[in-house]
Amino acid sequence: MTSRKLRSQAWFGGDDKDAFIHRSWMKNMGLPDDTFDGRPVIGICNTFSEFTPCNAHFRGLAEHVKRGILDAGGVPLEFPVFSCGESNLRPTAMLFRNLASMDVEESIRGNPMDGVVLMAGCDKTTPSLLMGAASCDLPTILISGGPMLNGRFKGRTIGSGTDVWRFSEDVRAGRMSRADFMAAEAGMSRSAGHCMTMGTASTMASMAEALGVTLPGNASWPAVDANRARLARMTGRRIVEMVQEDLRLSQVLTPAAFRNAIRVNAGIGGSTNAVLHLLAIAGRVGVPLSLEDWDAVGRGIPTLLDLMPSGRFLMEDFCYAGGLPALMAELKEVLETEVVTVSGRRLADILAEAENYNPEVIRPKDQPLCAEGGMAVLRGNLVPGGAILKPSAATPSLMVHRGRAVVFSSIEDLKARIDDPDLEVDETSVLVLQNCGPKGYPGIAEVGNMPLPRKLLERGIRDMVRISDARMSGTAFGTVVLHAAPEASVGGPIALVRTGDWISLDVPARRLELEISAEELEARRAAWQPPVELEKGGYEGLYVKTVMQATTGADLDFLVGCRGHAVPRESH
């Protein structure tokens, strides 16, 4: 019970006709008469879907959240929202992240809830839920579904996504049999949960914990470990306390919290997709965050986590080494530890209790996996709006490189020609992929880690410089320039690159240049014609008309900002 007037009482309080209607219908679930007599009503925002394998265990996890809410005297009411499943949803889950955030926002604002538990797991479910909740600003806490157990194949550990890319290239190079490739499939995903590599799902679970919107330990407990269920129950208890304290999301998602998350992303070798998602979340809560902040704040931060795709281990190993609190404790000198978290405790207090049980997995500061783990934000005449590269997953010898462009106008063009033996390409070439950005795909697809030409794979080449306006999976690796802005489909310079052009990449100097004169570039721009596309209807049409560029998070322009949680007018 709380002495503060609760938002849900606008529905359930009083003795008039409207309160009668709201209470009466709720009682058909067997709820006692005193259910709504000042008890906090907690919405459980569930992204369960059997089309989203990462979140398919959420029915059971939600029960633990409910028990925690009941323990603390709250009223748990579960509601479903759009589930962005990365592995099955086409043309790309990123197209629907913003749609899911709209579902979350309107579900929260339109229903009689005083606080929210967000249940996230697969890549886009974490940012979409946080974006929608940030636009409402109620007391909010997030619980992740947790990673799968380590994959196993022929006596060794394999990682979801990362080893798919490796095995696929090995098959194309003739180094792995197709039979072995198919056999690895069953051993890669052997329990409930999301990717156990530091892909986007694990990264965003880590970002949520680093931002302070989860309880400590959220990022790494495996989905099937009893501690995940225990954490869910404690999350349920804590949200009731947060409602009593009126601890809202905007009080946690501060500029300092975002800066901490950027530094932690460098420390874990996190996914490039975190750049898009944190920019979008910040835009919803009203925190000024830019692409330049990613470079300025994250630069000089070492990658300490030896975990795929940058390193060797997997999330299960990370968990039992101490998890994110142990890693953040290694970085505490560069973190802003006075920030408040949803636990009600300062970050400094949480880190004071953290221990590193395996310095081979969570490396000490003086033995980093990569000395420069922060995202490199590139500028130049090829990407005047910016582009990013992940140094911890790149080849050091390619960080300064000059080569001739081999241009593909679409993903279909790339697939049709990449293995052509007559393709004029060698290991010094720069692969350029166009028209895969927010508007051009649409949805900025995970195709930026382009496959290498078969004839180069057969010679043992395993990396090349690749540039696109697309994204790549957080489980992927390579010297890959992503999110080139402006994108090709709106006439960005990447649309003007021609096969044979010289391109120079200088990551230490943060430069990416197309080596043609300004006059030639302007002449090409004047001659450029936008791709001819049929008018799109439905949500896809709305998306294409209103989506912003990757450099601002690829949110829809009309969704930016916090619209609050004022009680809407009565419905009857």
Q: Which residue range(s) make up the domain with 292?
A: 40-149+191-352
Both 329 and 215 in one domain: the answer is yes
Domain boundary among 166, 188, 210: 188
Domain boundary among 168, 188, 208: 188
Both 408 and 514 in one domain: the answer is yes
Confirm whether 547 is domain-assigned: no
Confirm whether 34 is domain-assigned: no
> From CA 185, how far away is CA 183, in angstroms rounded?
5
H-assigned helices in 27-84 = 58-71
Both 335 and 389 in one domain: the answer is no
Confirm whether 27 is domain-assigned: no
Both 234 and 381 in one domain: the answer is no
Both 88 and 179 in one domain: the answer is no
Both 417 and 507 in one domain: the answer is yes
**What pLDDT, on the 0 to 100 scale, is given for residue 531?**
83
Both 316 and 211 in one domain: the answer is yes
**What pLDDT, on the 0 to 100 scale, is given for residue 475?**
87
Both 394 and 462 in one domain: the answer is yes
Confirm whether 15 is domain-assigned: no
Q: Check residue 307 and report its DSSP letter.
A: B
CATH number at residue 504: 3.50.30.80
CATH number at residue 309: 3.40.50.2300
Both 423 and 499 in one domain: the answer is yes
Confirm whether 20 is domain-assigned: no
Q: Which two tokens stand for residue 271?
A: 């996914």
Both 268 and 309 in one domain: the answer is yes
> From CA 87, how far away is CA 85, in angstroms rounded?
6
Residues in the chain: 572
> From CA 531, how far away is CA 7, in angstroms rounded?
49
Cβ atoms within 10 Å, residue 224: 17
Both 386 and 347 in one domain: the answer is no
pLDDT by 10s per residue, the chain, length 572: 556 789 999 999 999 999 999 999 999 999 999 999 999 999 999 999 999 999 999 999 999 999 999 999 999 999 999 999 999 999 999 999 999 999 999 999 999 999 999 999 999 999 999 999 999 999 999 999 999 999 999 999 999 999 998 999 999 999 999 999 999 998 999 999 999 999 999 999 999 999 999 999 999 999 999 999 999 999 999 999 999 999 999 999 999 999 999 999 999 999 999 999 999 999 999 999 999 999 999 999 999 999 999 999 999 999 999 999 999 999 999 999 999 999 999 999 999 999 999 999 999 999 999 998 899 999 999 999 999 999 999 999 999 999 999 999 999 999 999 999 999 999 999 999 999 999 999 999 999 999 999 999 999 999 999 999 999 998 889 999 999 999 999 999 999 999 999 999 999 999 999 999 999 999 999 999 988 776 789 999 999 999 999 999 999 999 999 999 999 999 88
Measured at the alpha carbon of residue 159, what is the angle toward residues 154 and 161, in degrees to the nearest 5? 120
Q: Which two tokens stand for residue 537?
A: 């209807």
Contact criterion met (CB below 8 Å) for 97 and 267: no
Q: What's the number of domains the chain is made of?
A: 3
Closest CA to 141 of 321, 355, 340, 351: 340
**What pLDDT, on the 0 to 100 scale, is given for residue 571?**
85
> From CA 347, how far away is CA 262, in angstroms rounded?
15
Both 318 and 220 in one domain: the answer is yes
Confirm whether 359 is domain-assigned: no
Residue type at 165? W
Confirm whether 530 is domain-assigned: yes
> From CA 97, how far away is CA 85, in angstroms rounded?
10
